[in-house]
């Protein structure tokens, strides 16, 4: 197949074939990262700008490493100390970056739809590195990649996503991506943290952790943020840990080879115990490694669409 999308904004609008194509491309880039010389010239002469309106370490570094392994030049912009603080609009900032002849803009923003808006106004390739509560497509792609690498396929796997689904872009991208590839997805959270009508995605919903763990081939545990709305039911993080925290004891009832994932950074002792995070079932550090291959694939593929007709995902 030929890649047609100028931007990667979400997984909701991708076809299963497109997702598979990214995964296949990522697998070949993963091989590159195991070589002695971990660099290919695929994006030599291209400029990647990481435009981050929210603090992020791992995603930004992952994109930076990925771009550098493709031989691109990388510029990091964080909103601290930029003209964003002087009231410049997102579109103006994007246009200015484009005027500096940036080829790819990787954007992280607190507003849902920010990446889509940039993509609509710019000729540069736009990659969504997380927009509000909407989507975080590369995170889900690396989660899927990790799972597929370990199990050979996604079709038929039972995957439970546990935690604050309502405010999670990671959850939304995971739901779309996993379901498109044929996984059976269960969402587990206190009722207040389940967004309305989410079952229309095809995912099952429960507030019972044991039910979500039972029969699951993998769990993806979300970071808990207690400053959010709807978390009032858990005045103390210890309460949350008691009910929804993933512990070794809890995992006793699950499949022995259950795969434990987490997008990071982990709140140890809140959504997951240290024993689980560092235990034999944990794939958390593999996820980080795979993130580079997946992001190399995405950076590479969007540039391949450059001469095609401008394509918006919606």
Q: Which is nearer to other proteins, 112 or 247 (CB)?
A: 112
- 29 contacts 195 by C-beta, under 8 angstroms: no
- 137 contacts 119 by C-beta, under 8 angstroms: no
Q: At its nearest, how many Å lie between other proteins and the CB of residue 297?
A: 24
Contacts of 272 (CB under 8 A, 6+ apart): 221, 245, 246, 247, 260, 262, 266
Q: Of how many residues is the chain composed?
A: 314
Q: Which is nearer to other proteins, 45 or 196 (CB)?
A: 196
Q: At its nearest, how many Å lie between other proteins and the CB of residue 197?
A: 4
Q: At its nearest, how many Å lie between other proteins and the CB of residue 91?
A: 6
- What residues make contact with other proteins under the rule CB under 8 A? 12, 89-91, 109, 111-114, 116-117, 121, 131-135, 169, 172, 195-198, 200, 312-314
Q: At its nearest, how many Å lie between other proteins and the CB of residue 171?
A: 10
DSSP category for residue 259: E
Q: At its nearest, how many Å lie between other proteins and the CB of residue 201?
A: 8
Q: At its nearest, how many Å lie between other proteins and the CB of residue 112?
A: 4
- 106 contacts 50 by C-beta, under 8 angstroms: yes
Q: Which is nearer to other proteins, 183 or 203 (CB)?
A: 203
Q: Where does residue 177 rank: exposed (0-12), middle (13-18), buried (19+ CB within 10 A)?
A: buried
Q: Which is nearer to other proteins, 5 or 69 (CB)?
A: 5
Sign of CA dihedral 242, 246, 250, 253: positive
Q: Where does residue 152 rank: exposed (0-12), middle (13-18), buried (19+ CB within 10 A)?
A: exposed
- 72 contacts 43 by C-beta, under 8 angstroms: yes
Q: Which is nearer to other proteins, 175 or 218 (CB)?
A: 175
Q: Which is nearer to other proteins, 114 or 299 (CB)?
A: 114
């Amino acid at each position: 197949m030929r890649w047609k999308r100028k931007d990667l904004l979400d997984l909701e609008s991708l076809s299963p074939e497109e997702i598979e194509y990214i995964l296949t491309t990522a697998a070949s880039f993963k091989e590159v990262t195991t070589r002695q010389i971990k660099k290919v010239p695929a994006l030599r002469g291209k400029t990647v700008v990481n435009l981050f309106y929210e603090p992020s370490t791992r995603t930004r570094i992952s994109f930076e490493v990925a771009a550098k392994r493709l031989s691109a030049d990388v510029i990091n912009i964080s909103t601290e100390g930029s003209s964003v603080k002087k009231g410049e609009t997102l579109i103006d900032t994007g246009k200015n970056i484009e005027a500096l002849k940036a080829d790819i803009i990787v954007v992280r923003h607190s507003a849902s739809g920010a990446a889509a808006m940039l993509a609509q106004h710019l000729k540069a390739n736009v990659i969504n590195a997380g927009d509000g509560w909407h989507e975080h497509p590369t995170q889900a792609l690396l989660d899927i990649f990790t799972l597929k690498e370990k199990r050979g396929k996604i079709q038929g796997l039972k995957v439970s996503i546990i935690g604050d689904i309502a405010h999670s872009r990671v959850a939304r991208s995971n739901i779309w991506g996993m379901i498109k590839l044929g996984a059976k997805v269960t969402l587990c959270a206190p009722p207040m943290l389940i967004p309305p009508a989410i079952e229309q995605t095809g995912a099952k919903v429960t507030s019972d952790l044991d039910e979500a763990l039972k029969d699951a081939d993998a769990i993806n545990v979300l970071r808990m943020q207690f400053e959010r709305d709807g978390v009032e039911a858990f005045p103390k993080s210890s309460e949350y840990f008691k009910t929804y925290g993933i512990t070794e004891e809890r995992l006793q009832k699950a499949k022995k080879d259950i795969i434990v994932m987490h997008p990071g950074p982990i709140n140890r002792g809140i959504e997951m115990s240290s024993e689980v995070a560092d235990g034999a079932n944990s794939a958390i550090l593999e996820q980080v490694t795979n993130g580079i291959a997946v992001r190399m694939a995405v950076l590479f593929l969007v540039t391949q669409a450059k001469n095609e007709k401008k394509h918006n995902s919606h």
